[in-house]
Structure 1
Amino acid sequence: MSNLENVPKSGRLANRNSNHNVPSVSNWLDDIFNRNLSSVFTSDFNTGISLPKVNIRETSDAFMVEMAVPGLKKSDFNIDIDNRVLSISTETKEEHEQKEGNYTRREFGYASFKRVFSLPESVNDEKINASYNEGILNILLPKREEAKQKPSRSIEVA
């Protein structure tokens, strides 16, 4: 499904003619802030959500997007389409407080992700639907009738 463009966090598509050997300031900052923190800063409480991997499959009638995001609820997802750009995001917050004896332990966690894709013109964005089952988010992107692959047929010569 090479027609879908993965849009970076900045929301801008990369210039296809740019020199890939020279990192942009945006890429450089992303590298700094997206590095894994050492184990000193992590715990079993706040595991967060890494950027989920996406499988995209094309058939003659539709594109299917599968995203593995276990541990969430259907209501955790925000799926939006704006100007042929599909955005999939979630945000979760959690707080725990434990009191024993003369101490209190209070922890909180926050996790989020956002994946953004440019949709090809062939997608009928009025009929997009999504489902979430057993940790897998499925999004069906049906093609417009005129974009669907027609079966081959024989033409008789008159």
Structure 2
Amino acid sequence: MLMSKQFQSLRQQIDLLFENLIREQPQLSLVSSMDTPWIPAIELQETETELCLKAQLPGIAPNELDIQVSENAVFLSGEHRESKQTDKQGIFRSEFHYGQFKRVVPLPIPIQRERVTAEMSGGLLTLTMPKATPVVPNLIKVSLIASDPKA
């Protein structure tokens, strides 16, 4: 019980510190740093014939996006550029993600990379990736010749 009161007191002191800081610095900008790396959220679904990868990329123009596909992974990279503001007031809070990103998405099964299609709509990238035809292992029977253990 004593610990609980100590934590509550500590929390109140921290809250008061931040309130005073903001009151003393009315022009304090809470804009997120452009140096903070970010990774777009993805969703990977499988159907009988294909894999479908969706990536949330709001505010990114298609010409600022690089998509590369191998047989077993998707490589996404790009940049969300911050718009320059002309008014003198500025932004007090922004939770938008700006800057460059890179993401590698491993695929659970091989795909036909030559047949991948991409579509971008409303900040959502959709890659449709047909599954590779399964390779049937070609087994060969090996004959064993018994040797004479006395030789």
TM score, norm. by length of structure 2? 0.52
Whether the aligned pair in 2 keeps the contact of 1:90 and 1:113 (CA below 8 Å) is yes
Residue 75 of structure 1 aligns to a residue in which SS? Answer: helix
1:52–1:85 Cα change, 3 Å = same
Whether the aligned pair in 1 keeps the contact of 2:40 and 2:57 (CA below 8 Å) is yes
Note the C-alpha offset of 1:111: 0.6
2:52 corresponds to: 64
Whether the aligned pair in 2 keeps the contact of 1:48 and 1:112 (CA below 8 Å) is no
1:43 corresponds to: 31
1:74–1:80 Cα change, 3 Å = same
1:79 equivalenced with 2:67 (yes/no): yes
Identify, as 1 or 2, the structure richer in strand.
1
Matches within 5 A, 1:21-32: none
Sequence identity (%)? 22
Whether the aligned pair in 2 keeps the contact of 1:49 and 1:113 (CA below 8 Å) is yes
Note the C-alpha offset of 1:69: 1.4
Note the C-alpha offset of 1:49: 7.1
- Matched AA of 2:103: R
Q: 4+ runs of 1 displaced by more than 6 Å?
A: none
Note the C-alpha offset of 1:72: 1.6
Q: Which runs of 5+ in 2 are unaligned?
A: 1-27, 89-96, 136-151
Residue 114 of structure 1 aligns to a residue in which SS? Answer: strand
Identify, as 1 or 2, the structure richer in helix.
2
1:111–1:62 Cα change, 3 Å = same
1:60–1:50 Cα change, 3 Å = same
1:81-115 deviation per Cα after TM superposition (whole angstroms, max 9, x unaligned): 35743201112344637597xxxxxxxx9511111
- Matched AA of 2:131: K
Count the aligned residue pairs.
100
1:118 corresponds to: 106
TM score, norm. by length of structure 1? 0.50
Among candidates 119, 127, 151, match of residue 139 of structure 1: 127
Note the C-alpha offset of 1:43: 1.6
Among candidates 75, 88, 92, match of residue 76 of structure 2: 88
Q: Which runs of 5+ in 1 are unaligned?
A: 1-39, 101-108, 148-158
Instruction: Report the Cα distance in structure 2 between the residues aligned to 1:117 and 1:99, rounded to whole angstroms.
Output: 40
Larger radius of gyration: 2
